[in-house]
Amino acid sequence: MRGYVIGALLSVAAALTAQAPPYDLLFRNGRLVDGSGNPWYRGDVAIRGDTIVRIAPSISEPATRVVDVGGQVIAPGFIDIHSHARANIFNVPTADNYLRQGVTTLIEGPDGSSPVPLGPFLARLETLRKSVNIGSFIGQGSIRSAVIGETDRKPTTDELERMRALVEQAMKDGAFGLSSGLFYVPGAFSSTEEVTELAQVAGRFGGIYISHMRDETSHVVDSVKETIAIGERGGLPTQVTHHKVIGRGNWGKSIETLQLIDEARRRGVDASIDQYPYTASSTSIQAALLPAWAQEGGRERVLTRLKNPATRADIKSETVRIIREERGGGDPRNIVVAGCEWNASLAGKNLTEITQLRGMAPTLENAAEAGIWLVEQGNCQGIFHANSEQDLERILRHPATMIGSDGEIPTFGKAAPHPRSYGTFARVLAVYVRERNIITLEDAVRKMTGFPAQRLGLLDRGLLRPGMKADVTVFDPARVRDTATFDKPHQYAEGFSYVVVNGDIVFDGKAMTSARPGRVLYGRR
């Protein structure tokens, strides 16, 4: 009798198994742009659990959910290799602005800034129910600040060893590599040799080096040379992040910077680039308009210097030059406040308007004074319209360039952030693929998926292949577009029908779903 019961149960289990659909999700009738750069082809994509299990011209087996995409593009989920997601991901774990433009993975810790130590931050992320995957670099500037502070001096032998140890621990915790922000304090006080010492540690663990270079204006060529040298001497891949050329007098220098990348690659240096598709940059007003020496020692030291009439005059003179030749593009109207923590009403106003609100004529000197006043009041983010469309397109065409937003996860409707947070990936597809034919659809997707996955060592993402994790985006190439503008940045991208993260649909073309399948991703530990 016992054997009969067991046999009956096994028969029932077998019957139930036979009746269960072989797939959880099946996309049919798509144009597959697989992330490799190869020409698109027609096919179906089947997903079981968190994995792509089959790709074929036609899949007839049943699935729990079948979606006919009607000839739309099926592509891997986009990977943003340069984001500032940590500022708000715990408040907005759905990251709507990114998922609605097909981004399924965000990489944090850029520009030399990250939590130190990194492990507790990643552990906290593990407990967060999130819709998007996230990973992080370890920031050289943050490490220097933790060991030395904001001081302009060389590290002692002991301090350098402590910094090496912090990089090693971060790599063991799962960092994808070392980031630097040599434009920012305290990274600006670091020598090439100091950064190389830390890069060597990251390289031993299979990490990469990614840098907001020392200068993106008149010394941009020298800065690319330095970025290449750190990778070459450090023995690891090296990347110029958000590559741009700032200031009208410097436009066209991308010809030389790209030649440097090509020459480095020919001699065996694994050098690459990432970029966002806008001719305006964004950073803090203080970092952009004050010289590095004026920022040494932190905010109290900055305010003390500004109270000294002679020192203030020196700072103001340099700020005038920056507005004239660099971030201001010669006109204070080109500098726009994205948000001030201490006065929300200033968001969206340009420096000419703020100068006039201060009761001054909008001269360069008065605009510099207004900019310094902003710094004195507190933290403000700015947007700076001083880049060239020709440089942008030249950099975008380069085969070693991938896409990264340099964006954030905004609180919808708050402040006036750079539209790159809402539109980077959609804008590439709409403007530079469909409208201007600067790059092909296949190459654009490669720059957003397979290439950054390869760069980061994400061996199970970035391509449409059986066995890869099911991060997938579906979009209409004729309709996809960015709607966010500098005047109205809080607008979501259009043309995306489905976004899948680890096998779960998180965006269905109309709204975000309740799924929270995002994971913390780790480097080569």
* pLDDT > 60? residue 15: no
- pLDDT, average across residues 494-514: 97
For residue 227, give the nearest of 252, 206, 199, 201 by alpha carbon: 199
* Separation between Cα atoms, residue 276 and residue 459, nearest integer Å: 24
* pLDDT > 60? residue 332: yes
pLDDT band at 467 (very low <50, low <70, confident <90, very high): very high
* pLDDT > 70? residue 488: yes
Rg (CA), the chain: 24
pLDDT tens by residue, 154-208: 999 999 999 999 999 999 999 999 999 999 999 999 999 999 999 999 999 999 9
Q: Residue type for 356, please?
A: Q
* pLDDT > 90? residue 111: yes
* Separation between Cα atoms, residue 312 and residue 269, nearest integer Å: 44
Q: Hey, what's the torsion of the CAs at 339, 371, 187, 272, to 10 degrees?
A: 70
* Separation between Cα atoms, residue 216 and residue 213, nearest integer Å: 7
**Range of lowest pLDDT (11-15, 286-290, 449-453):** 11-15
Residue 260 pLDDT: 98
Chain centroid to CA 422: 12
Residue 16 pLDDT: 46
- Region for 123 from its dihedrals, namely left if φ exceeds 0, alpha if ψ lies in -120 to 50, beta otherwise: alpha
- Region for 3 from its dihedrals, namely left if φ exceeds 0, alpha if ψ lies in -120 to 50, beta otherwise: alpha
* Separation between Cα atoms, residue 145 and residue 143, nearest integer Å: 5
Residue 20 pLDDT: 81
pLDDT tens by residue, 234-267: 999 999 999 999 999 999 999 999 999 999 999 9
* Separation between Cα atoms, residue 432 and residue 435, nearest integer Å: 6
Residue 412 pLDDT: 97
Strands 78-80 and 103-108: parallel
CA distances from 40 to 33, 420, 464 (A): 5, 27, 11
Residue for token digits 């049919």?
28
What is the three-class DSSP state of 68?
Answer: strand
> Is the CATH number of domain 76-282+386-456 3.20.20.140?
yes
pLDDT tens by residue, 353-406: 999 999 999 999 999 999 999 999 999 999 999 999 999 999 999 999 999 999
Q: Residues near 157 by Cβ (< 8 Å), separated by ≥ 6?
A: none
Chain centroid to CA 262: 23
Task: Determine the angle formed by the axes of helices 140-147 and 157-173, rounding to 10 degrees.
Answer: 130
pLDDT band at 12 (very low <50, low <70, confident <90, very high): very low
Task: Identify the DSSP state of 213.
Answer: -
Q: Residue type for 296, please?
A: E
pLDDT band at 524 (very low <50, low <70, confident <90, very high): confident
pLDDT tens by residue, 48-97: 999 999 999 999 999 999 999 999 999 999 999 999 999 999 999 999 99
Strands 73-76 and 472-475: antiparallel
High-pLDDT (> 90) share of the chain, %: 96
pLDDT tens by residue, 421-441: 999 999 999 999 999 999 999
Q: Residue type for 157, please?
A: T
pTM: 0.95
Beta carbons of 241 and 110 less than 8 angstroms apart:
yes
Domain residue ranges in the chain: 76-282+386-456, 284-385
Q: Hey, what's the torsion of the CAs at 89, 94, 99, 104, to 10 degrees?
A: 70
How does the average pLDDT of the chain come out, rounded?
96
* pLDDT > 60? residue 13: no
What is the three-class DSSP state of 121?
Answer: helix
DSSP line for 469-494 = B--EEEE-TTT-B----SSS-----B
